[in-house]
Structure 1
Amino acid sequence: MATTASKSRRPTISDVARRAGVSTSLVSLVLQGSPLVREPKRAAVDAAIKELGYRPSRAAATLAGGRTKTVGLIIDDYRNLWFVELLQGLQSELDKHGYHVTVLDSKAGDAPGNGAIDQLLSMRVDGIVVAMDPRDSMLEATWAPTVVAGWRDRIPEGADLIANDDSAGGRLAAGHLLELGHTRIGHLTGSGGAATHRRAGFLLRCAEAGLPVRLWGEGHGTSEEDGYQAACALMDHFPDTTAIFAANDIMAVGALAALRERGLQAPRDVSVLGYDNSPLAMSRYLDLSSVDAKSGDVGAGAAQALLARMEDPARTLLRTLIPPALAPRGTTAPLGARAGHRRRASQGPRPRPAHDL
């Protein structure tokens, strides 16, 4: 009778081999999915794995196969939910090849030996996806294949780029608000490659229509607080604004808060349009109109590019732009369609009503 693994310890590959009546090297081949193993032997190993509850050691797999089957994803703000669909798209493709994703927030530090890139390299990840504007320490080429997800100001040396066409998305946003009849439009922007491209497309489309844009936030951040502050300044200077386009959904949420404090509602008084079509925008409570950045498709494309780069490090650099789409919801409406007795924004904030979004 085959020797069984002790219930007091974790079963090993040797236990599986003894139970299946094969060598440990053959068990390794089964775990690697090798086509060289005959079906009866594979079935015996699979049965032993199931019976013993064996879980392969990833460290051992690294030593045996030279890969950790891990990909690192670097973001810059867990609070901005645009990366959720990016992660889902990334993982959906990597799952097919047995890869896991480790997510790191770049704010963990950027000093040598402590930055996100260094942390991932110390973990011996097989590849890196950068979903933020890279810092200086990220711009040098590394031994790990790298893909940049989303438009960025700078691209690390040797990295592929898979991004939403943010310039086209900015044009979509402007076109949507213009079609609704708005001519006094404000844009809340910020720093970074994505905001830059969205701003450029938006301004170009408005210029083609002969309309000036009330621009606020250039050179600043793109957080909810940044959106709030930019919207406050915009409405203080231009209280007759009837539509606001924010560089992302979380900035749009900040704009909604600024409008509410001034006794204004979207879309009754001011239409508000975000960008990314994040889970935040899709929530039934906010019902935020947005431009869909197709983050899931960007994530899937980034995974495919990374896998291809792993197999062929010398392949031609890839630059792929994915078309955006409009996702209109309840915070944009035709000018005057839901007009009520508008309180002038210049009168300042009023006490917040219970349901004023």
Structure 2
Amino acid sequence: MPRPTIQDVAARAGVSRALVSLVMRGSPKVSERRREAVLRAADELGYSPHLMARSLASRTSHVLGVMVSDLHNPFWAEVVDGLDARARAAGFELVINTGGRSPARERQALTGLLSFRPAGIALLGPVLPAAAISAAAAHTPLVLVSRSSRLSTVDTVNDDGRVGSALAVDHLVSLGHKEIAHIDGGNGSQSAPRRTGYLAAMRRHGLPPRVVRGEYTEAAGAAAVRQLLEPAPPTAVLAANDLNAVGAISALEAAGLSVPRDVSVVGYDNTWLAALRHVALTTVDQPRDEMGQLAATALLQRVRDGRADPARHLLAPRLVVRRTTAAPRRR
């Protein structure tokens, strides 16, 4: 069947194309009788904008916007799963786009979501300037996942990155490691708390820190390891996230080193990638589904209950030990 057009809707409703266009834009110049006729025709034909049109016509949106910082990171897919489940249970649909880990692209993506006039927007791992977030929050309820904010108009859902990194360092120290390097997430969201947690834990154990700047990608993990090989590799690496850890493992093996015999590696996030049997990555678990559910709930509370006070969810991470960590080999 061909996709129905605005002309098909007009013919079914017995009105002009111009009037259908007015209804789709939510114009107040259309009578309720004709508005309902157009919306009914759009529903019957399966005309794609009908959900948005009904939201505009009733002045009550049933759409939640979601901006994902990085579509290549499986962590966000699992957060979206939780968000989608909670939204659908409440009768809402998601509109999703991406910012590609770029502030400029994220600004465009956020502007695009606002054009849908959503009931609220979830920003997942945004690297947007705080001013852009504040401006958007003036137009619609906003929740940040894996990004902190002091704005009273913005809700947040985070794991405690300081605690998560400390758990990883403590685990490696318990195995006997003293040369533990950290590949950080650069300008990525929550990179600073994870780096802070690593540094604090290393000081607590009386060990010298070694931080290499990176980002939340496989390529960055591999590039950081190539730096760490000179003059001598550490006995253990705490990576910025699971993708970063996989890149690090690949570079270590390319250099003729075995994981964990020569170098132990810990990731962060506990995505499905970490649990693959041939990867079996020791990693810090963030409750991805719960984070998505909490983000959707925060938006719905603003929309339906009129909550004005900011919601601040800080979840406790946990360490999941698999096969990429072991006691250091004597050199």
- TM range, smaller chain: 0.7 to 0.9
Structure 1-normalised TM-score? 0.74
Asked whether 1:317 is paired with 2:310, we answer: yes
* Distance in 2 separating the partners of 1:96 and 1:114: 29
Instruction: Provide the identity percentage.
Output: 33
Asked whether 1:327 is paired with 2:323, we answer: no
Q: Is the 8 A contact 1:187 1:214 kept in 2?
A: yes
User: What is the CA-CA distance between 1:64 and the residue it aligns to?
Assistant: 4.2
Q: In structure 1, what is the equivalent of residue 180 of structure 2? A: 185
| 1:247-266 alignment runs, 5 A limit | 247-266=240-259
User: What is the CA-CA distance between 1:110 and the residue it aligns to?
Assistant: 6.0
Q: Which residue of the other structure, out of 66, 71, 79, is the alignment partner of 2:64?
A: 71
* Distance in 2 separating the partners of 1:177 and 1:112: 38
| 1:278-289 alignment runs, 5 A limit | 278-289=271-282
Structure 2-normalised TM-score? 0.80
Moved over 3 A (4+): 52-56, 107-114, 154-157
Q: In structure 1, what is the equivalent of residue 133 of structure 2? A: 138
Asked whether 1:233 is paired with 2:241, we answer: no
User: What is the CA-CA distance between 1:245 and the residue it aligns to?
Assistant: 0.5
Task: Label 1:266 to 1:110 Cα distance change in 2 as closer, same or farther (>3 A).
Answer: closer
**Residues 304-350 of structure 1: CA distance to partner in whole angstroms, max 9, x if unpaired?**
111101124452111110111111111112334xx8xx8xxxxxxxx
User: What is the CA-CA distance between 1:132 and the residue it aligns to?
Assistant: 1.9
* Distance in 2 separating the partners of 1:122 and 1:53: 24
Give, as a single letter, the amino acid of the residue that structure 2 aligns with 1:231: V
Give, as a single letter, the amino acid of the residue that structure 1 aligns with 2:215: G
| 1:13-162 alignment runs, 5 A limit | 57-107=50-100, 115-136=108-129, 137-140=132-135, 141-152=137-148, 158-162=153-157
User: What is the CA-CA distance between 1:113 and the residue it aligns to?
Assistant: 11
**Residues 15-70 of structure 1: CA distance to partner in whole angstroms, max 9, x if unpaired?**
xxxxxxxxx99xx8xx9xxxxxxxxxxxxxxxxx9xx8978931342144323311
* Distance in 1 separating the partners of 2:63 and 2:220: 34
Q: In structure 2, what is the equivalent of residue 224 of structure 1? A: 218
Q: Is the 8 A contact 2:159 2:316 kept in 1?
A: yes
* Distance in 2 separating the partners of 1:54 and 1:252: 45
Q: Size of the alignment, in residue pairs?
A: 296
Structure 1 gap segments, 5+ residues each: 1-8, 15-23, 32-48, 343-357
User: What is the CA-CA distance between 1:155 and the residue it aligns to?
Assistant: 5.8
Task: Label 1:150 to 1:270 Cα distance change in 2 as closer, same or farther (>3 A).
Answer: same
Task: Label 1:13 to 1:168 Cα distance change in 2 as closer, same or farther (>3 A).
Answer: farther
* Distance in 2 separating the partners of 1:208 and 1:242: 19
Give, as a single letter, the amino acid of the residue that structure 1 aligns with 2:167: L
RMSD of the TM alignment (CA)?
A: 3.1
* Distance in 1 separating the partners of 2:101 and 2:94: 18
User: What is the CA-CA distance between 1:108 and the residue it aligns to?
Assistant: 9.6
Q: Is the 8 A contact 1:109 1:115 kept in 2?
A: no
Give, as a single letter, the amino acid of the residue that structure 2 aligns with 1:233: Q
* Distance in 1 separating the partners of 2:144 and 2:219: 26
* Distance in 2 separating the partners of 1:76 and 1:229: 22
| 1:184-223 alignment runs, 5 A limit | 184-189=179-184, 190-217=186-213, 220-223=214-217
* Distance in 2 separating the partners of 1:67 and 1:286: 47
Q: In structure 2, what is the equivalent of residue 170 of structure 1? A: 165
Give, as a single letter, the amino acid of the residue that structure 2 aligns with 1:222: Y
* Distance in 1 separating the partners of 2:272 and 2:278: 11
Task: Label 1:111 to 1:232 Cα distance change in 2 as closer, same or farther (>3 A).
Answer: closer
Give, as a single letter, the amino acid of the residue that structure 1 aligns with 2:83: L
Give, as a single letter, the amino acid of the residue that structure 2 aligns with 1:335: P
**Residues 56-107 of structure 1: CA distance to partner in whole angstroms, max 9, x if unpaired?**
9313421443233111111222111110111111111111111122221114
* Distance in 2 separating the partners of 1:334 and 1:108: 36
Greater C-alpha radius of gyration: 1
Q: Is the 8 A contact 1:245 1:272 kept in 2?
A: yes
Give, as a single letter, the amino acid of the residue that structure 1 aligns with 2:98: D
